Amino acid sequence: MDNQLIHINNDICQACYACVRVCPVNALQVRVDQEPPVVIGERCIGCGSCIRVCAPEALTSRDSCQDVKKLLKSDKKVAAIIEPSISGEFVDITDYRKFVRMIREIGFTYVNEVSFGVDMVAEQYKELFTSFKGLYYISANCPPIVSLVEKYFPDLIDNLAPIISPMIASAQLVRQLYGEDIYVVYIGPCIGSKNEALRYNGNSKVDAVLTFIELRKLFSEFHIKESTVEYSDFDPPLGYKGSLYAVSNGILQAAGLNEDLMSGNIITSEGKDNVIESIREFDASVDFIRKHFNLFFCEGCLMGPGTSPGGKKYVRKTLVTDYANKKLKDFNIDIWREACMRHSSSTDFKAIFTADDHRVAQPSAEKVDEVMKILGKSEAEGKVGCAGCGYSSCRGFAEAVAKGLTKTDMCISYSMKSKHDFIKTLKLTNDKLARTQDALLDSERKARQEQQMAQEALERTSTMLQKLPSAIVIVDDNLKVIESNHSFIQTLGEEAAEINEIIPGLVGADLKALLPFQFYKLFTAVLSNDENVVNKDVHLGDRLLNVSVFSIKKGKIAGAVLRDMYLPEVRKEEVIHRVTEVIDENLGLVQKIAFLLGEGAAKTERMLNSIIESHKEGKK
């Protein structure tokens, strides 16, 4: 069985951390790597403060409805013991005898008042507080108070009044009345009682604890309404002033203890903040205060976490006192005294408490100072605080961070500063992103324009390519056709034309399957050597083709122009071209011969002139 008292539903939790801030003992931990808080069960004292402040109702206590239904289905008889604050809980029920009958209708054999157990316990407190022997006590009726002392003020264990609570006293009572072979279910306002019940066995055992909220669920499940049931009273013995137990000082009135400020020796304190401060002062200054402390964690049991939310304290208090007055109007005090004497003598009121220290070692001053620096708090600011984090001072919060009980984000001012810094950074990032986005859009627009222009150029080129009379083909480094025109397909013949019908332009076709070896090796040579082949005459069947292969992208893409030399227009053009080449070559040769002849004639003329001149000189 899962004995953890408080559970959190992470699917519902909104990570508002209200529960963390209100927990008096840091039993809800905020971890850096996890948004929802984590319940540390061994630190919990069962006060239920976290449940009260959880708006989405993600926090719940251990449910006992199923356990109670199993007990009711068993072969044993089941007794319900009802805490006095029930009279303040059921504002919607007009007569207490109605809700007694409603409880019986669920299946309980017996329904007894805890107020009689309060009366018996009150007598024990009267004896303890009036026979002073030098030791001052803290009352032990409230389970969260007992747990708080055991876990966080273990040095005060001996100051806890060694008296069982009214719940345990009532469990012993009903077993005296109805035998030991019986189940006992406590119905009350406190979820801490669920853990208190686990402390006891034997005649003191409480088999299950139902809160008033859970009792309402059972009423709804079993379709039990006030309008459909008759009156029924509690099984005797009935309580006397123990009916006032729902109010914090009710047990003192039940014991007839003096509460006078001048002469009394008891201080009553209630409410989370008050009782924690009370225990601290008791621990530090009890020998100066010289009083016993009667403490209740809630503002009276009538405001316990197991009561319906939204209840009004003074309305409930009025209902409790009105119920007590009504019951005591015709109360038989003699029968009550005789029952008290008889059952008190058979009841073991001795309670034993055990230290269960969960205090965390105080961190070093240097570590706390480091956290304070991170929070941006000065030493002067550390002495006070807004308490929004759940701690009374900034330094107290820094100590909790250093202990690993919470994280810096719980500080509202630090969190707001971090958020403002984040927003500022985010704004700068957004501005930069906007500028980048504009540049990207502009670049994208230009890219689209260039792509459109490229596409148009490609279409124009492709159109021109198709209209050229010469055969054109472009291939990749694997001699796969990238593009070809109609003239190329016509040059290859009918087989290529059939392929073209299936694959337009022969795109992807293997050139090696379309042309003979001596033909496609020209492409291989150009792709390998990056040297163009110009005006190469190649036979293709009975045709003579004039081929020029050139490199388009080195080693990757090559193209070729093929002309059929037997076509009249090609032949005429080629003849003219080649005759022109021959003429150009012959003219060049003639020019060279003429040059050489010219040089020879000039030399002869010079020689003849020289001879003539010499001959003339001889005659003279």
Asked whether residue 231 falls in the same domain as residue 317, the answer is: yes
**Average pLDDT rounded to a whole number, residues 377-385:** 62
| Domain limits for position 585 | 570-620
The model's pTM is: 0.66
DSSP string, 393-458: SHHHHHHHHHHTSS-GGGSHHHHHHHHHHHHHHHHHHHHHHHHHHHHHHHHHHHHHHHHHHHHHHH
Do 254 and 269 fall into the same domain? yes
126-129: long-range contacts at Cβ-Cβ below 8 A with a sequence spacing of 24 or more?
126/255, 126/256, 126/257, 128/161, 128/163, 129/255, 129/257, 129/265, 129/266, 129/292
Higher-confidence residue: 619 or 492?
A: 492
Q: What percent of the chain shows pLDDT beyond 90?
A: 47
Same domain? For 615 and 589 the reply is yes
The total number of structural domains that make up the chain: 5
Residue 415 lies in a domain: no
User: Do residues 51 and 71 both lie within one domain?
Assistant: no
User: Is the pLDDT confidence value at 256 over 50?
Assistant: yes
Confidence bin at 179 (pLDDT 50/70/90): very high
Q: Is residue 154 part of a domain?
A: yes
> Are residues 504 and 600 part of one domain?
no
What is the overall mean pLDDT for the chain? 85
Lowest mean pLDDT among 326-330, 530-534, 611-615: 611-615
pLDDT at residue 583, as a whole number? 52
Q: Which of 276-285, 432-441, 470-479 has the highest mean pLDDT?
A: 276-285
Instruction: Please report the pLDDT score of residue 614 as a whole number.
Output: 60
Least confident among 20-24, 439-443, 577-581: 577-581
Same domain, 265 and 394: no
Using a 10 angstrom Cβ sphere, with 0-12 exposed, 13-18 middle and 19 or more buried, the burial of residue 247 is buried
**Is residue 576 over pLDDT 70?**
no
Same domain, 171 and 243: yes
Is 215 a domain residue?
Answer: yes
pLDDT score at 306: 94
State whether 58 and 87 are in the same domain: no
For the segment 369-374, the average pLDDT, to the nearest whole number, is 74
| Mean pLDDT confidence for 316-329 | 90
**Contact partners, residue 421, CB within 8 Å, separation at least 6:** none
Quickly state the pLDDT bin for 70 (edges 50, 70, 90): very high
Q: Are 347 and 237 in contact (CB under 8 A)?
A: no
> Residue 620: its pLDDT value, please?
45
CATH of the domain at 512: 3.30.450.20
Cβ contacts of residue 194 below 8 Å, gap of 6+? 5, 46, 61, 62, 64, 209
Per-residue pLDDT reduced to its tens digit, 130-163: 998 899 999 999 999 999 999 999 999 999 999 9
417 in any annotated domain? no
Residue at 491 is within a domain = yes
By the 8 A CB rule, do 96 and 186 touch? Answer: no
Residue 583 is assigned to a structural domain of this protein: yes
For position 1, what pLDDT does the model report? 47
